[in-house]
Each structure stands twice: as structure tokens, then as C-alpha cells.
Structure 1
Amino acid sequence: MLEIRKVYTHVEETFLEGGKEVQPSIKNIATVAVIKNPWHGRGYVEDLKPEIVAYCPGLGELLVKKLFEVIESADEVEAFGKAAIVGVDGELEHASAMIHTFRFGNQFRNAVEGTSILSFTNKRGGPGTYITIPMVHKTDESKRSHFITFEMNIPDAPRADEIVVAIGAATGGRPHPRIGDRHQDMLEMGLK
């Protein structure tokens, strides 16, 4: 049984950027679980798959459920990403194991009707470490307007024996994007 200490939802809504109104407003949302590291205290574990199979689908399902408490439908989500932070007594591979599996990621991707790769970060840290969730457009990972990074932290997590696992979603791209499209750049530079 996966031990979940807490679930946390963080919502940021932007109404004004650069002195100009954002219409419609854009929400960045992170749903986060603080879990006991299932490999903590066991020394080096060669095969992480039994815990991945046992815990990742349900963890993904829980975080998606929490996301849909903030949004009403998959149509609202334009960008998405994921992240994990392992506490200082864990291995970086433990954080990676929780999020780098279709058993976890497809719970999110399917729920929001995404086809892009879920961008990610995984790192080690102590309580209060910032969770950095890079996001891309859910169906076109090359769309620059949706290259977003959303950060937040939980003051008491992760503890040394925990893993923080997060998914992030945005209801739009960056406010007032105007740096152009990467495909257009490639054409202009003769690279395509």
C-alpha cells in the first residue's frame, strides 16, 4: 500500500501581464502527492518494477482526479508536464521511477486528451525544494507559446524518506506570446 502523507493543489491565475489584460485569464495548476519512498531503507534495489506496477497507475489517477476538481474538462487544458523530487536519503532513480512510466503518465495524458511527450524534471532535495514543472502544448510539443515553467513548493516536503510527485497543467500558453514559431525560424534560416 502506497503511503501518502498529503496531497496538495496549487493554482495560479493570471489576469494581467506586462500591463495588458489577459483574456481569457490563464490558470496554471499543480496537483502534488507527498509519498513515502517505497524503496527507502532497503539499500540498492535492482528491480524497481514491482513498486512501479503497484503504485504508479493509482498515483496518476489520484493526481488527475485532483486536477479535475479545479478544471471541468480536458478541453480546458492546453499545456502539461510532470515532476518528481526525491528526499535526500533516496536515489534520483526513485523519483524517475514514479513518473517515467506509461503507467503514471498515460493516466494524465489520456485524461486531458494529450498526445505530446510529457516534459519533466526529476531531482533530489529537502523540505521546501521548489517543484519545477516544465510544460508544453498537449498536442504540439514544438509550439513555443506553450513553453511554460510552473514552480511551487511545499514547506515540509520532501522529507528524507519521501518523494514529491506532481503533474502540472495550464489553461493557455504564456500571456501575450510574441517570439514567433520555431518552424518559421527554421524556414527563415534555411534549416527546413
Structure 2
Amino acid sequence: MPDVVIRKTLMQVETIHHEGGPPSEVPQRRAAAMAVIENPYAGGYHEDIAPFMKDLEPLGAELAQALIDALGGDPSVVEGYGKGAIVGVNGEIEHGALWHVPGGYAMRDAIAESKAIVPSTKKVGPAGTRLDVPVTHTNASYVRTHYDAIEIGVPDAPRPNEIVLALVMTTGGRPHARIGGLQKEDVKGEDGLR
């Protein structure tokens, strides 16, 4: 199996006090951890790519912990998450799909109350491509207040033979959420949905 060759990692953190309404008692924090890696499958079609997911597991765990640390070090404050990948133009969309298992399970293993599926997105694009990474509640996908996205991107990546891998976490739902639906305090936590 190929080695995971990392060119660089990046972290972005936001603290949102309000979105035009009254300031929140507790500001929402959002973070995205990204790694720019060499795409070992760029430039040609390779039938058996699935084993590379196992190689990506340590990177997933490292980025998940970096997010928790960036949000204050307490995994219990994490309420939302998502993952994404931007594949350089010499690769294919399926190379981004290699991040599904190692990225998603790394976050689910690192935080409490994480029965919900980790939403994801991926695309192929040149350096500087931006990606909206979807976010949902960690324990119940139907909590509408946490339907959101975090935009990520790296100015000089992905180069044609690279992949940008991203994990995102939030400490709460959208500021000023008020469209109803299942509330986080009403989550049963039985099936990842409600």
C-alpha cells in the first residue's frame, strides 16, 4: 500500500457571536482541519484503491483530535460534524471517496454521542478550489438547527496530483436558528436520526 505523503496541514477556526441578531450567550465555534496529501492514484485508473483507506486512518485520527483541541480540548462540546475532499485534476472523484471511512470514523471515535452519519462531499478541481462541507448534528441527523456547511479551501492546493482532505466540527447549531423541528435537547440518540 502507498504511504500517505502530507505536504501541509491547515486549521481554520471561527467564533461566531451573532449573525445580525442578538449576541449569543455562548458563541458558536466552528473549525476545519485540512491535510494536503499526494494522490498515489493520480494520472491513471487503478482498480484496487480501497486498501488506501486503512493508510488514511492515522491521519483521520490526527485531524479529529486537532479539531477537538482547536475547539477547547473537550470532545463533549462538539455538536456538529462533516467531512470533505477536493481531488486534484489528475485524479478522479472516487479518490475523494477514500476519505469516507477514515475521516468519518475518526471523528465518531473521538467524540461522545456520535450515532449520526457524518455528512460528506467531494469534488475534482484545480488549486484554490473551494468546497462547502456539510454539517449535521453528531447524534441525530434530524436536528434542523445544525444543518449547515463550512467552506474550506487551500490557495495552492490541490495541485494536479494531490488531494485536500478535510474534517469539520462545530460546538452548536446555526446562530439564531428558529425554523422549528427536533431540538438537540429532545434527541433520543437511538438510531442516529432522532
TM over 0.5: yes
User: What TM-score, normalized to structure 1?
Assistant: 0.89
In the other structure, the counterpart of 1:73 is 74
In the other structure, the counterpart of 1:108 is 107
Q: Which amino acid aligns with 2:104?
A: G
1:1-192 to 2 correspondences below 5 Å: 1-41=3-43, 43-53=44-54, 55-71=55-71, 72-97=73-98, 99-101=99-101, 103-113=102-112, 114-181=114-181
Asked whether the equivalents of residues 65 and 110 of structure 2 are also in contact (C-alpha less than 8 Å), the reply is no
Between 104-113 and 25-34, report the one with greater CA deviation.
Answer: 104-113
C-alpha separation between the residues in 1 aligned to 2:81 and 2:51?
A: 27
C-alpha separation between the residues in 2 aligned to 1:108 and 1:162?
A: 23
Where structure 2 has 5 or more consecutive residues not aligned to the other structure, the ranges are: 184-194
Q: CA RMSD in A?
A: 1.4
CA shift, 1:152, in A, is: 2.5
**4+ runs deviating over 2 angstroms:** none
Q: Secondary structure at the match of 2:23?
A: strand
C-alpha separation between the residues in 2 aligned to 1:152 and 1:48?
A: 25
- Identity, in percent, stands at 39
Q: Which amino acid aligns with 2:13?
A: V
User: What TM-score, normalized to structure 2?
Assistant: 0.88
CA shift, 1:50, in A, is: 2.3
The alpha-carbon distance between structure 1 residues 66 and 180, as it changes in their structure 2 partners (threshold 3 A), is: same
**CA offsets, 1:62-100, max 9 Å, x none?**
211211321211111000000001001101000111x22
Q: Which amino acid aligns with 1:80?
A: Y
The count of residues paired between Structure 1 and Structure 2 equals 179
CA shift, 1:165, in A, is: 0.5
